[in-house]
């Protein structure tokens, strides 16, 4: 049983995904509200508050500027919360994984289902914020529809990265490190609230290596109706983060659960 | 008789510790096989290797004629597992737990739905079909776990301490059901600390300690081969003193444990006569059982 073997992807993840979906359906209403409320409150609060002081940012109204960033960071948060807290609950506290692994389903399928489910949550929360954006008239272009598959991709990326934390976590409090040292800095460095170009050179270099920056570099142009420059580069960075993180998390899970 | 589960020379070490040390096991179709041993003996690790969840460091394991862990996924299609600690889905009802679990075996929803009524009846949970798991008692949860392990109509069922923590009514119901399963031709491999359970349910038993099998056979054989046929337990403050003075004259072997003395004898009559004269002591005369075998083979000392 080689811990370092490449993941074997198969359709067997699907019944696990269905299970997560069935659980979610039971708590759908509060879940949707939760995913929507936080980002929309920020968006409206800062958008109107700062927006009235700032004439424009990055070639658009501050509200619109912030909206594109909000879609990205809300999908990042949905995926991260799901992969970390819910994933840990399933793996460790409820022993759901243990039950599933006693059947003809392998750990590779379970981890794949966690990533795809967290990405599904991201898709839902991204789409919900997008709906608010359309209702407020912040985007007038059909190009913004591309933000839906983008939300899925962002979800995949941050789910995969988050699962590395889940594989390493001894307890729930461990996740504080991730949110404080990784997620929050990303929210501030990657162009959600202000352009990356406002940062000192060195920080701009750091931001350029972070996945959220690339997500936002795709989201903003799409929302304002233009094809993002260097789109393939940004997509490639997100995919690279996803695939490498998926592999690393799988190796770590194999180690952790092989006792 | 085909061996449904076969282990040859299984070995597993964790951090320099030999947890399973050269284990050979052969379990036949329709058998209820019990694996006994103190905590840390290597029982759960052995089960996990036989299920193909972990790979042995040496030796081979076959489950339903398929090598594990290489063909574990295929083998587990016909296997059910009742784990030591419940891992039911707390967000679902009883019926939903069965439905969701059946899907992992590649079963169609209609197939599973068709089996649910008989599974519920088997577990005496028909009235609880739409009850959410947190509302169930410990006994009901365990019965649900057993029903869930049967959703795919397995040929082999692994049970890790199936009745720990249950009240006597629940235990007796589970034993009854397990006996029905072996009568249906299913093979059971269970671990337990309850000697009465092992004696009642198992056709054959093996005692494990320090990663090795130290004795194997039917309950009757284990008792006959390992221990004297009669036991006289002696209780009282002065029992230890009495034992040191007199026990050796009447018993092949005796052990002092706090205020009790266990005397192991071929013929108990002389000993009983002697004890009847001792007014300060009470005694209990009974046949030797599996617990006596177990304590003899693995000692009375606690394992830390």
Q: Which residue has the tokens 């795919």?
A: B152
Residues 6+ apart with CB under 8 A from B174: B142, B143, B146, B162, B163, B166
pTM for the predicted model, two decimal places: 0.90
pLDDT at B95 over 70: yes
pLDDT at B279: 83
Q: What is the pLDDT of residues B201-222, one digit of tens each?
A: 999 999 999 999 999 999 999 9
**For A198-238, how does the pLDDT look when each residue is reduced to its tens digit (9 = 90+)?**
999 999 999 999 999 999 999 999 998 899 999 999 999 99
Q: Do A258 and B83 touch (CB under 8 A)?
A: no
* Residues B94 and B170 sit within 8 Å (Cβ to Cβ): no
- Strand pairing partners for B28? B3
pLDDT tens for residues B170-185? 899 999 999 999 999 9
> Contact at 8 Å (CB) between A159 and A114?
yes
Model confidence at A58, pLDDT cuts 50, 70, 90, reads confident
Which whole number is the average pLDDT over B65-75? 92
- Short-list A124, A136, A114, A126, CA closest to A51: A136
> Rounded to a whole number, what is the distance in Å from the CA of B51 to chain A's nearest CA?
8
User: Residues A133-154: pLDDT tens digits?
Assistant: 998 888 888 889 999 999 999 9
Q: What is the mean pLDDT of chain B?
A: 91
- Determine the distance in angstroms separating the CA of A131 from the nearest CA of chain B, rounded to an integer: 29
Helix (H, G, I), strand (E, B) or coil at B188: strand
Interhelix angle A147-168/A211-224, rounded to 10 degrees, is 160
| Residue A36 scores a pLDDT above 90 | no
CA-based torsion, B61, B62, B66, B72: positive or negative: negative
Residue B273 has what pLDDT?
A: 87
Instruction: List the single residue in B with minimal CA-CA distance to A255.
Output: B54
Which residues in chain A are contacts of B100 at CB distance < 8 A? Answer: 15, 18-19, 22
pLDDT greater than 60 at residue B1: no
pLDDT grade for A29, boundaries at 50, 70 and 90: confident
Percent of chain A with pLDDT over 90: 73
Mean pLDDT value of segment A117-126: 94
Residues in chain A: 259
Higher pLDDT, A127 or B258: A127
Predicted confidence (pLDDT) at residue A55 exceeds the cutoff of 90: no
pLDDT number for residue B256 = 86
Only one residue has tokens 């403050």, namely B237
Residues of B in contact with A98 (CB under 8 A): 83, 87
> For every residue of chain A, which 3-state class applies, written as one string?
CCCCCCCCCCHHHHHHHHHHHHHHHHCHHHHHHHHHHHHHHHHHHHHHHHHCCCCCECCECHHHHHHHHHHHHHHHHHHHHHHHHHHHHHHHHCCHHHHHHCCCCCHHHHHHHHHHHHHHHHHHHHHHHHHHHHHCCCCCCHHHHHHHHHHHHHHHHHHHHHHHHHHHCCCHHHHHHHHHHHHHHHHHHCCCCCCHHHCCHHHHHHHHHCHHHHHHHHHHHHHHCCCCCCHHHHHHHHHHHHHHHHHHHHHHHHHHHCC
Contacts of A1 in chain B (CB under 8 A): 54-55, 69
pLDDT at B304 over 70: no
User: B152 to chain A: nearest residue by CA?
Assistant: A103
- pLDDT value of residue B207: 93
Q: Please indicate whether, in this complex, the C-beta atoms of B85 and A259 are within 8 angstroms of each other.
A: no
Q: Do A19 and B85 touch (CB under 8 A)?
A: no
What does DSSP say about strands B32-36 and B17-28: parallel, antiparallel, or unpaired?
A: unpaired
Minimum distance, in Å, between the CA of residue A96 and any CA atom of chain B: 6
Domains, chain B = 3-224 (3.40.50.300), 228-287 (3.30.70)
Q: What are phi and psi of B190, to 5 degrees?
A: -130, 150
With a CB cutoff of 8 Å and minimum separation 6, the contacts of B255 are B261, B262, B300
Q: What percent of chain B has pLDDT over 70?
A: 99
Give the residue, A56 or B141, on which the prediction is more confident. B141
- Who among B79, B85, B89 is closest to A96 (CB)? B89
Q: Which residue has the higher pLDDT, B167 or B105?
A: B105
Task: Over range B287-297, report the average pLDDT.
Answer: 90
What pLDDT sits at residue A95?
Answer: 93
Using the predicted structure, report yes or no on whether residue A118 has a pLDDT greater than 90: yes
Give the separation between CA B215 and CA B73, rounded to whole angstroms: 31
How distant is the Cα of A116 from the closest Cα of chain B, in angstroms? 17
- Reported as a single tens digit per residue, the pLDDT across B239-274 is 888 888 888 888 888 888 888 889 899 988 988 888
Higher local confidence (pLDDT), A251 or B3? A251
Residue B302 predicted with pLDDT over 90: no
The secondary structure element, H or E, covering residue B44 is helix B43-50
Asked if B40 has any chain A CB less than 8 Å from its own CB, the reply is: no
> A3 and chain B: CB distance < 8 Å anywhere?
no
The CA distance from B88 to B113, in Å, is 18
Confirm or reject contact between A137 and chain B (CB < 8 A): no
User: ipTM score of the complex?
Assistant: 0.88
Chain B residue at shortest CA distance from A97: B87
């Amino acid at each position: 049983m080689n811990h370092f073997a490449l993941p074997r992807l198969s359709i067997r993840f699907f019944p696990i995904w269905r299970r997560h979906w069935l659980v979610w359906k039971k708590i759908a209403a509060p879940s949707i509200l939760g995913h929507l409320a936080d980002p929309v409150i920020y968006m409206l609060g800062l958008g109107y508050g700062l927006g009235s002081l700032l004439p424009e940012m990055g070639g658009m109204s501050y509200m619109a500027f912030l909206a594109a960033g909000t879609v990205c960071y809300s999908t990042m948060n949905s995926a991260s919360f799901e992969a970390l807290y819910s994933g840990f609950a399933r793996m460790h506290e409820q022993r759901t994984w243990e039950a599933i692994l006693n059947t003809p389903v392998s750990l590779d399928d379970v981890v794949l289902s966690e990533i795809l489910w967290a990405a599904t949550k991201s898709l839902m929360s991204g789409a919900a914020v997008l709906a608010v954006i359309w209702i407020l008239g912040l985007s007038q272009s059909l190009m913004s529809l591309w933000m839906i598959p983008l939300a899925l991709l962002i979800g995949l990326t941050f789910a995969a990265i988050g699962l590395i934390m889940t594989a390493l976590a001894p307890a729930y409090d461990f996740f504080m490190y991730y949110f404080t040292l990784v997620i929050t800095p990303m929210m501030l460095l990657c162009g959600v609230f202000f352009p990356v170009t406002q940062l000192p050179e060195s920080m701009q270099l750091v931001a350029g290596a972070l996945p959220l920056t690339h997500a936002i570099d795709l989201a903003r142009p799409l929302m304002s109706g233009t094809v993002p420059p260097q789109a393939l580069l940004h997509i490639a960075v997100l995919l690279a983060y996803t695939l490498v993180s998926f592999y690393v998390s799988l190796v770590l899970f194999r180690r952790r659960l092989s006792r | 008789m085909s061996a449904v589960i076969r282990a040859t020379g299984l070995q597993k070490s964790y951090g320099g510790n030999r947890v399973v040390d050269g284990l050979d096991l052969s379990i036949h179709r329709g058998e209820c096989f019990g694996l006994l041993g103190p905590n840390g003996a290597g029982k759960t690790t052995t089960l996990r290797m036989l299920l193909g969840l972990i790979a042995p460091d040496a030796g081979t394991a076959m489950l339903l004629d398929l090598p594990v862990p290489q063909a574990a996924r295929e083998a587990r299609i016909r296997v059910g597992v009742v784990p030591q600690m419940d891992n039911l889905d707390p967000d679902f009802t009883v019926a939903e737990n069965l439905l969701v679990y059946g899907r992992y075996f590649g079963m169609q929803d209609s197939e599973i739905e068709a089996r649910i009524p008989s599974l519920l009846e088997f577990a005496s949970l028909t009235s609880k079909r739409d009850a959410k798991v947190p509302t169930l008692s410990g006994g009901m949860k365990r019965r649900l776990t057993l029903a869930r392990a049967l959703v795919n109509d397995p040929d082999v069922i692994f049970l890790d301490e199936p009745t720990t923590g249950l009240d006597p009514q629940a235990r007796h119901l589970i034993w009854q059901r397990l006996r029905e399963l072996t009568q249906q031709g299913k093979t059971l491999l269970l671990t337990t600390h309850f000697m009465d359970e092992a004696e009642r349910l198992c056709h054959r038993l093996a005692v494990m300690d320090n990663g090795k099998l130290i004795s194997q056979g039917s309950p009757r054989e284990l008792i006959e081969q390992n221990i004297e046929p009669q036991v006289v337990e002696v209780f009282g403050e002065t029992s230890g003193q009495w034992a040191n003075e007199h026990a050796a004259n009447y018993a092949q072997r005796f052990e002092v444990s706090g205020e009790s003395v266990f005397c192991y004898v071929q013929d108990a009559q002389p000993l009983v006569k002697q004890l009847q004269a001792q007014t300060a002591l009470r005694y209990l005369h009974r046949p030797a059982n599996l617990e006596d075998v177990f304590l003899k083979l693995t000692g009375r000392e606690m394992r830390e």
